[in-house]
Structure 1
Amino acid sequence: MTTDTSDAAGVFEAHRSALTGVAYRILGTASDAEDVVQEAWPRWSGADRAGIEDPRAYLVTIVSRLAIDRLRSARARRESYVGEWLPEPVSDLPDGADRAELADTVEFAFLVVLETLSPLERAVFVLREAFQMPYAEIAEIIERSESATRQLSRRARDHVRERRPRFEADRSARRRITERFLRACVEGDLDGLKGLLAEDATLVGDGGGKARAPLRVLLGRDKVGRFLMALPGSFEKFLASIGAPAADIRVEVGEVNGAPALICAAAGRIVAAVVLDVDGGRIRNVYLVANPDKMSHLRLPDPS
């Protein structure tokens, strides 16, 4: 058995970013993705690496299988989750040099759609659509036949296509809409805000029972608009509870999962992210992540 630990560590570190990217797309949780990659290390360091022709493929296999198992157990635990569950937002994408090619497959709204797939469908979709892996390799990873893997891929792809926006806005348009959204919320302009929302807009909140967020999905521009108008007051109540002045509220347009979004801080700590799903020039879905357990991978943009 190969015992050169330093060589094993060097190879592992060279692929860590890509492995984290695979795990995050399968799991939707950055902290779990990092844990899965760490779990892969002893399996790699203890393997007979002399017989491994493609270290990257070997490592992706390990990480994918671990992520699928973890996702299955996570789905079972989420049955007792308080309110709606949303992915964990990140400010920095996990793929390093691959960022440009893979950014669209880690966008927040895209990860929300992936939550509607089964663990196997999700893994197959990620490995095929995001990382362009051959079906034969994916079949080996998930321990299914190649024909069954192709069926899983086709079903997942059709499912995702049905739920993705038909008229996605480009990055500059999304930023302009995000800035107008922020301005309307700050100024208390309900009519202006409703003008940005699609008639059937939804708001999905994730407070995890630890922060203020709707327990159920809000449907319709009126309900969504009125809830958003009340958000500044909830931040002020939070500040009052810890003895901080209202001036300590800061909301910035920043980067969340590679796209423009609002990052909210109070008394120096990030307390929420608001991600807008824009379709046809209107905001179709508003995702509010306020669970404090999901804030550790966010940061406020640097002052310009």
Structure 2
Amino acid sequence: MTETPSDPIFAELRPHLVRLAYRMLGSVADAEDIVQNAWMRWLGTDPASVREPAAFLRTIVTRLCLNELKSARRRRESYVGSWLPEPIFDPEDGDAVDDITLPLMLALERLSPLERAAFLLHDVFGMDFDDVSSTIGREAAACRKLASRARAHVAEARPRFAVGKEQGLKLATAFFTASRAGDMASLRALLSEDVIVYADGGGKVPTSLRPHIGLAAVMLLHEQLARVFCAQPSQLIHYAVIDGLPGFVTVEGGDVVQTTALHIEQEKVVAIYCTRNPDKLQHIIGAMPR
């Protein structure tokens, strides 16, 4: 069951609730399930008795996410290889509702569930600490401390040299062209000395189980991949901004959908995030032309 046009309150708030749940969980599917659960609870509520529907539904979603994080953390402890959040595309008009990028999402994984909630609600979604307090069930002073600790943990993950969307996608185009053509000289010129490659296959498709760290290791990886691309060329679906980073969507080896997101600083690629786990790409695969 999904909300209908006859319920304009929930329909209007739904995109915000999904984004909140996704930022809490790093999973599109889990976020959708959480919001669906919130919808069912909303059906059992008299809207006229709710003074602030947005705050009411945000509280439901946040508390459901806090419960879900307990089991999600257990699942990630046994995850095969590198874990990356499910990729989402930024709005086409570029007017994203927050500045959370993929590296920051990974930094959030190191926080406690309450730290994550306090940081997101206050620093990202702009709630004051009294509202955060009522949402997560902690005193306002405790929420300030939670957000402060979280802020310190994620500070390093925020981009120090933000790249514009147009320039970012230009560099993503150059990276795709060089890597798929086996142009190692051009590729090397795009990479920083301490570049890292993360690949998430979840044990479902072939991929490296550990990150490749440093320019030499990453160049060796792409020299090997160039032979694969020569035998089975990548099919480029489109370029996109993926979780705040420039990148692209491809089909590799004839049937493996992959998103590649590039963390760029000072015109150099400092990290490459490849998501190949089909369980994390169903929302993308379902939208692709047949």
| TM-score, length basis structure 1 | 0.85
Task: Write the distance in 1 (CA, Å) between the matches of 2:229 and 2:257.
Answer: 9
Secondary structure (helix, strand or coil) at the match of 2:283 reads coil
Identity of aligned residues (%): 37
2:271 is aligned, of 285, 289, 293, to: 285
Question: Which structure is higher in helix share?
Answer: 1
Q: Give 1:127's aligned residue.
A: 121
SS of alignment partner, residue 196 of structure 2: strand
1:257 lines up with 2:243 in the alignment? yes
**Aligned partner of residue 249 in structure 2, secondary structure:** strand
* Map of 1:118 onto structure 2: 112
RMSD: 2.8
Change (3 A) 1:266 1:223: closer
Equivalent residues of 2:257, 2:281 under 8 A apart:
yes
Counterpart among 287, 290, 296 of residue 282 in structure 2:
296
Q: Structure 1 residue 221 and structure 2 residue 221: aligned? A: no
User: Deviation digits for residues 116-154 of structure 1, max 9, x if unmatched?
Assistant: 222211111111122101111111111111001001111
Q: Which residue of 2 aligns with 1:211?
A: 205
- The answer to whether residue 154 in structure 2 is matched with residue 156 in structure 1 is no
Residue ranges of structure 1 left out of the alignment (5+ in a row)? 238-245
Q: Residues 16-35 of structure 1 correspond to what in structure 2 (within 5 A)?
A: 16-35=14-33
Cα offsets for 1:66-92 (capped at 9, x unmatched): 112112210111111101110000235
Give the Å deviation of 1:298: 2.6
Contact 1:8–1:45 (Cα < 8 Å) also in 2 = no
CA spacing shift, 1:23–1:6, aligned 2, 3 Å: closer
Q: State the one-letter code of the partner of 2:216.
A: D
SS of residue in 1 equivalent to 2:163: coil
Amino acid at match of 1:142: I
Query: What's the offset of the Cα at 1:52?
Result: 1.3
- 1:176 alignment partner in structure 2: 170
**Deviation string for 1:15-44 (max 9, x for gaps)?**
111110111111111111000000112221
Give the counterpart of 2:42 among 41, 44, 69: 44
Q: Distance in 2 between matches of 1:263 and 1:6?
A: 32
Decide whether aligned partners of structure 1 residues 164 and 255 sit closer, same or farther in structure 2, where only a CA change above 3 A counts.
closer
Cα distance in 2, alignment partners of residues 227 and 267 from structure 1: 16
Which string of whole-angstrom CA distances, capped at 9 and with x for unpartnered residues, describes residues 212-252 of structure 1? 22111111011112213333555688xxxxxxxx4673354
Q: What amino acid maps onto 2:137 in structure 1?
A: E
Task: Give the aligned partner of residue 53 of structure 1.
Answer: 51
Q: Mind listing any 5+ residue stretches in structure 2 that lack a counterpart?
A: none
Cα deviation per residue 1:46-68 (whole Å; 9 max; x = unaligned)? Answer: 12433310011100000011112
Tell me which amino acid in the other structure corresponds to 1:26.
Answer: M
After the TM superposition, which segments of 4 or more aligned residues of structure 1 sit over 4 Å from their partners? 5-8, 232-237, 266-270, 299-303
CA contact (8 A) 1:270 1:299 kept: no
Partner of 1:193: 187
Q: Give the Cα–Cα distance (whole angstroms) in 1 for the partners of residues 286 and 13 of structure 2.
A: 28
Check the 8 A contact 1:254/1:300 in 2, yes or no. Answer: no
Distance in 2, matches of 1:273 and 1:129, equals 28
Query: Are the structure 2 counterparts of residues 248 and 147 from structure 1 closer, same or farther at C-alpha, using a change threshold of 3 Å?
Result: closer
- What residue number does 2:84 align with? 86
Aligned length in residues? 287
Residue of structure 1 aligned with 2:97, choices 85, 97, 102: 102
